Structure 1
């Protein structure tokens, strides 16, 4: 980009990071990543996590095996579809204590959190994902590339989101039959620590109440940032303000009820944020790499190569693979959508292919590459929520993601023949 000049490259690198800090959504995402640590530390020090574990394992016996521990996080990930980052956070926070009690490796928990959050958010699009996709589709309609109603096209496209569907099925099967592939066989089991647990019902609420605030908060702030329309809300703003609101709520919940004193509250706030500060740095570098690949026009180049030898029967499969490569390289599915939808739709129109299938391939490829990428924000947040090293999470999740990706690719090729 800079004619191999070291001096100019250093100068442009400084300029690159300066430009990142000028973007509010990046600052909010970094702040969210740090403050997530504070929320999790407060939940743990309040004793509410231990109370929940005792309630689920000893009192009700709803969780009595590694399978049931992972299934709890799985269903939490599926039910809470509001925003992928919040989904991973809640599934990880709730599931970590259960997995420790049942001796389940944190790598398995991270796999479950990651494999439910983005897939379910991209399937049930009453969230920021739907807002972005609607905007991209509407732009193509306004430019005369395609015809129709953006909402109808998006709903039809979601039915072709084969990777999200296959990932959810593969994850459930892997949990139910305890299927361990590749590096997952070597993942070490976690061991619960001996802690004094307050198992009263009131103590259990110290976890459930903040989680309820997080769920409701995302909807509320999506509504507010979208001026009354959830589908037009800002995802980065919603998760940032939700975390702030949750911390304020926890302060006024824990301090007056003497669950924690002011000093211990702020110590936990600081310690939790400090733990996840390195994660925020990783995210910052991930954003920088994504911006560089965008400036290099990597996605457009790959799409142009695919367009040279394109068949209508292979179009959806090729779009899926190209989208996956771009998402893996940049670490962002949303960025991939922004790059590929303006490219994929003219390609589909040019060979008279199904528009919804092409959009579904873009969504699926974006989520697939995002799952495999070590610089993806959802990968990193799933790791931190599960207390698992990022590299270990990527290595252990990869075989399952590749299987889901292969299933999705075969479905895209098969449906291309059927529809065409």
Structure 2
């Protein structure tokens, strides 16, 4: 991602959408463009918000669209789509957490298969995407969104020597394709039996080499710039790597302390099994909202939720889906979330205004998700 940004391929993509493919003719089509970009670019939530915002900002200026609407679209497609199409760091984290539960003997099976089953129950992310699409298509403004106003800003014009968008598009397409290739190879011909963590590692490494043999010979950047940028990008991942490392430690500790079993014994006395997924969703939402991190929430809740589901004989995949959904919902609404802040910055919208205008839509999506969790708990 750092190399793609440095290559200015994102600028080329923006220029292509603005000046060459003139498909935007109204407020609705402007926001729809940002929406579909948010859906297509699912590699990393922050990049999704930045690209969708960069493309949408000039059209907001042209068609007098309130910046809060663009921020809502950017935020509602970033984390939700990244948590549904998990051929990215989100998938690597979740695979690691699920694999830890398998290695501890809490559950049995293949981590990739369990993750795919859990993603099917990621109801909040699905609801958020549908609610956002409907709000754009029918121009539905509720709550504070009714009163938000367009604020004129200065938009920098695109440079005449803008690089090709292929510097962004080709590495991303290759990355997506290679995930399936390495899952197939590591699974002995069966994608579902492939090693998710190994596939992600080899995919990113291969794509990194591709950028080297693509960017340097085409004089997009020198070998020195490529090397420095690659290392800077790697350094940004260090905090995430530490979160993942400590999350494995948390999983070990909670397993030894029998935290999940203890909570399950309390839940058996006071909680109907049909409401377990809903409670897990609400607790995960609270943690995520308070901390502003969905990844941290996954690391805390999966080691607790999985043993609870096993002891109570609940659907493990549904329970993990509730954790993912809750983490996304809290992260979506939190004013201290990185995706909230980045979506606001990318759209030239104040953070508090973005939080206030987005919250009613997020609550509608959460209500839909809770309803689905209860329904699927009964029909399991």
Band the TM-score falls in, shorter-chain normalisation: 0.7 to 0.9
State how far apart, in whole Å, the 2-side matches of 1:418 and 1:67 are: 38
1:368 matched to which residue of 2?
329
Aligned length: 337
When residues 255 and 185 of structure 1 are mapped into structure 2, their CA distance, relative to the original with a 3 A threshold, is same
User: What CA deviation, in whole Å up to 9, does each residue of 1:39-79 have, x standing for no partner?
Assistant: 99x977x9x8567424344xxxx111100000001111111
When residues 357 and 49 of structure 1 are mapped into structure 2, their CA distance, relative to the original with a 3 A threshold, is closer
Structure 2 unaligned spans of 5+: 181-185, 187-194, 223-235
2:107 matched to which residue of 1?
146
Q: Are the aligned partners of 1:89 and 1:381 in contact in 2 as well (CA < 8 Å)?
A: yes
State how far apart, in whole Å, the 2-side matches of 1:120 and 1:72 are: 15
SS at match of 1:314: helix
The partner residue of 1:343 within 286, 290, 304 is: 304
2:225 matched to which residue of 1?
none
2:20 counterpart of 1:55: yes
1:378 matched to which residue of 2?
339
Aligned counterparts, 1:77-92, within 5 A: 77-92=38-53
Q: Are the aligned partners of 1:379 and 1:390 in contact in 2 as well (CA < 8 Å)?
A: yes
Q: Are the aligned partners of 2:49 and 2:74 in contact in 1 as well (CA < 8 Å)?
A: yes
State how far apart, in whole Å, the 2-side matches of 1:77 and 1:197 are: 21
Q: Are the aligned partners of 2:124 and 2:329 in contact in 1 as well (CA < 8 Å)?
A: yes
Most deviating of 164-173 and 379-388: 379-388
When residues 196 and 125 of structure 1 are mapped into structure 2, their CA distance, relative to the original with a 3 A threshold, is closer
Structure 1 unaligned spans of 5+: 1-28, 257-279
SS at match of 2:165: helix
1:394 matched to which residue of 2?
355
Aligned counterparts, 1:237-316, within 5 A: 307=267, 309-316=270-277
1:359 matched to which residue of 2?
320
1:268 matched to which residue of 2?
none
2:57 matched to which residue of 1?
96
State how far apart, in whole Å, the 2-side matches of 1:375 and 1:233 are: 32
When residues 104 and 356 of structure 1 are mapped into structure 2, their CA distance, relative to the original with a 3 A threshold, is same
The partner residue of 2:124 within 153, 156, 163 is: 163
2:168 counterpart of 1:211: yes
When residues 85 and 175 of structure 1 are mapped into structure 2, their CA distance, relative to the original with a 3 A threshold, is same
State how far apart, in whole Å, the 1-side matches of 2:317 and 2:56 are: 36
Q: Are the aligned partners of 1:222 and 1:232 in contact in 2 as well (CA < 8 Å)?
A: no
Give the CA deviation at 1:212.
Answer: 2.6
User: What CA deviation, in whole Å up to 9, does each residue of 1:248-288 have, x standing for no partner?
Assistant: 969x87899xxxxxxxxxxxxxxxxxxxxxxx9xx9xxx9x
Q: Are the aligned partners of 1:126 and 1:231 in contact in 2 as well (CA < 8 Å)?
A: no
Q: Are the aligned partners of 1:101 and 1:191 in contact in 2 as well (CA < 8 Å)?
A: no
Note the aligned Cα RMSD (angstroms): 4.2
Moved over 6 A (4+): 35-40, 194-199, 217-223, 252-256
State how far apart, in whole Å, the 2-side matches of 1:218 and 1:378 are: 22
Q: Are the aligned partners of 2:53 and 2:343 in contact in 1 as well (CA < 8 Å)?
A: yes
User: What CA deviation, in whole Å up to 9, does each residue of 1:133-187 have, x standing for no partner?
Assistant: 1111111111111122211111111111100110010000000011111121222
The partner residue of 2:365 within 404, 411, 416 is: 404
User: What CA deviation, in whole Å up to 9, does each residue of 1:53-110 have, x standing for no partner?
Assistant: 24344xxxx1111000000011111112111111111111112112222211121111
State how far apart, in whole Å, the 1-side matches of 2:121 and 2:362 are: 18
State how far apart, in whole Å, the 2-side matches of 1:207 and 1:193 are: 25
SS at match of 2:274: coil
Q: Are the aligned partners of 1:127 and 1:231 in contact in 2 as well (CA < 8 Å)?
A: no
State how far apart, in whole Å, the 2-side matches of 1:115 and 1:96 are: 16
2:294 counterpart of 1:317: no
2:377 matched to which residue of 1?
416
Q: Are the aligned partners of 2:10 and 2:168 in contact in 1 as well (CA < 8 Å)?
A: no
SS at match of 1:313: helix
The partner residue of 1:334 within 286, 295, 303 is: 295
State how far apart, in whole Å, the 2-side matches of 1:379 and 1:253 are: 36
2:143 counterpart of 1:178: no
Q: Are the aligned partners of 2:10 and 2:51 in contact in 1 as well (CA < 8 Å)?
A: no
Q: Are the aligned partners of 1:70 and 1:95 in contact in 2 as well (CA < 8 Å)?
A: yes
When residues 395 and 233 of structure 1 are mapped into structure 2, their CA distance, relative to the original with a 3 A threshold, is farther
User: What CA deviation, in whole Å up to 9, does each residue of 1:287-341 have, x standing for no partner?
Assistant: 9xxx9xx9xx9xx89x959847322010000000000000001111111111000
